[in-house]
């Protein structure tokens, strides 16, 4: 289902561009004759300027799924209401800089820095020279800013601490009593991770040892996925749809797997049992394949989580963009497309809610399986 959704997005995105181009052509056809008689270069420039000021579906989609230095809340009468976030930069020329991101709004520069809006540094903070141009020697400073995704990581961390400290307090206060409320909800999920993920993959002894890591993985991914479905602050960030975030999670799994791998795990990689000798010498085919597998496993974890969450967000944004695209062609088309787009958006939101749990489960289960393969005894 997720693969079909991603393919649908790839099909719809070119159609959005075609519809936008058609709307621009229709608008140009309504230009008075005196304006249409302009030289070709001027008419092209005017059309380009008009298309630049119109609805851009690509920008609409990628602005919603991308990271940013501010947290956009809403737009009222072309006025963007946003929460500024801290900008922390280190320049090799001028040292450490700390200021609010609202200083860089609307293309303004501050303290020798500017938020670039053109390639190849689009979306990044660039350093300016004395003439106000991008410094050719040091174009981008070291950026340690609290972006939207970083702020969401802190929010998810605080939310996890609040939930589990509350659950731990409830266990102490209601010792011997049946759980209720939040404690009851969390206990069901915790027992599921222990009994259906950890113990079958790791065994009774190792399951208890790795439960803190597996629970942290599961609930961090789950809370991040669910918070990304909330359209208002503090939700809406595409955290697990950012490959940098899923890469860090995969690195944690990679380190846990290989730092806890026992002698049998490493011997089987170098000298794979049950494989004919001619696949080991003189060309070490199987050792190369096994060593590659050590890195392929976390890579698969990274890409699967990233692609599934990103595809869901993109599909929902594509259906919402259809309303504005057809509305630009004719306002009645916008009204006709709106119910269909909203229905499909609600369907995708329901599907994403299901996928939020599935992807947390899959990432945790595969991590547990890989850890079990690294810590099990010889066979």
- Note if the bond before 282 is cis, omega within 30 degrees: yes
Question: Largest Cα–Cα distance of the chain, in whole Å?
Answer: 87
Contact call for residues 348 and 312 (beta carbons, < 8 A): yes
Measured in whole angstroms, the distance separating CA 183 from the mean position of its chain's CA atoms is: 29
Q: Which tokens sit at 347?
A: 């369907």
pLDDT at 50 (0 to 100): 39
- Mean pLDDT of the chain, nearest integer: 82
- Residue 316 tokens read as 């929902």
CA 21, 22, 24, 29 torsion-angle sign: positive
pLDDT score at 199: 94
Residue environment code for 18-44, b if the CB has 16+ CB neighbours within 10 A, otherwise e: ebbeebbeeeeeeeeeeeeeeeeeeee
Cα Rg of the chain (Å, integer): 26
Distance CA 102, CA 110 (A): 10
Residue pair 290/296 in contact by the 8 Å Cβ criterion: no
Q: What is the pLDDT of residue 33?
A: 40
- Residues 237, 313, 230, CA angle at the centre, nearest 5°? 45
**Residues in CB range of 204: below 8 A, 6 or more apart:** none
- Per-position DSSP letters for 60-113, written without gaps between them: HHHHHHS--SEEEEEEETTEEEEEE-EEEEEETTTEEEEEEGGGGGGG-EETTE
What is the distance between the alpha carbons of residues 186 and 168, in angstroms, rounded to a whole number?
10
Task: Supply the pLDDT for residue 54.
Answer: 65
φ/ψ (deg, to 5) at 90: -125, 115
The one-character DSSP state at 126 is E
For residue 176, give Cα distances in angstroms to 163, 171, 256: 21, 9, 35
d(C-alpha 12, C-alpha 252), whole Å: 36
The Cα 67–Cα 45 span in angstroms is 31
pLDDT along the chain (379 residues), means of 10: 48 44 43 40 38 67 84 79 91 92 88 88 89 88 93 95 92 82 90 94 90 95 93 87 95 95 87 78 82 94 94 87 86 88 88 93 96 80
Q: For residue 329, what are the contacts with CB-CB under 8 A and spacing of at least 6?
A: 19, 22, 23, 26
Specify the pLDDT at position 130.
Answer: 85
């Amino acid at each position: 289902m997720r693969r079909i959704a991603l393919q649908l997005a790839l099909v719809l995105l070119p159609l959005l561009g075609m519809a936008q181009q058609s709307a621009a052509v229709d608008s140009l056809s309504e230009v008075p004759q005196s304006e249409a008689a302009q030289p070709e270069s001027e008419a092209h420039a005017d059309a380009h300027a008009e298309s630049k000021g119109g609805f851009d579906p690509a920008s609409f989609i990628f602005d919603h799924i991308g990271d940013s230095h501010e947290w956009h809340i809403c737009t009222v009468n072309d006025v963007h209401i946003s929460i500024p976030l801290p900008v922390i930069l280190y320049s090799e020329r001028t040292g450490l800089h700390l200021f609010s991101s609202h200083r860089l709004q609307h293309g303004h520069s501050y303290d020798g820095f500017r938020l670039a809006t053109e390639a190849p540094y689009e979306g990044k903070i660039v350093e300016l020279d004395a003439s106000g141009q991008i410094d050719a020697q040091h174009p981008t400073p070291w950026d340690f800013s609290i972006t939207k995704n970083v702020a969401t990581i802190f929010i998810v961390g605080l939310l996890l601490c609040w939930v589990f400290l509350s659950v731990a307090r409830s266990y102490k206060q209601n010792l011997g009593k049946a759980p209720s409320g939040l404690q009851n909800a969390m206990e069901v999920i915790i027992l599921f991770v222990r009994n259906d993920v950890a113990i079958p993959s790791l065994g009774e002894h190792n399951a208890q040892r790795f439960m803190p890591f597996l629970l942290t993985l599961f609930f961090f991914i789950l809370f991040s996925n669910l918070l990304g479905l909330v359209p208002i602050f503090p939700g809406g960030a595409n955290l697990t749809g950012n490959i940098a975030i899923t890469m860090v999670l995969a690195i944690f799994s990679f380190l846990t797997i290989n730092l806890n791998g026992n002698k049998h795990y490493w011997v089987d990689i170098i000298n794979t049992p049950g494989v004919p000798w001619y696949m080991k010498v003189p060309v070490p085919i199987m050792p190369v394949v096994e060593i590659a597998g050590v890195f392929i496993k976390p890579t698969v974890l990274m890409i699967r989580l990233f692609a599934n969450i990103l595809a869901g967000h993109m599909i929902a944004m594509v259906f919402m963009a259809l309303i504005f695209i057809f509305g630009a062609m004719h306002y009645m088309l916008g009204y006709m497309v709106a119910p269909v787009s909203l229905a499909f958006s609600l369907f995708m939101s329901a599907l994403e809610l299901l996928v939020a749990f599935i992807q947390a489960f899959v990432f945790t289960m595969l991590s547990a399986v890989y850890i079990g393969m690294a810590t099990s005894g010889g066979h």
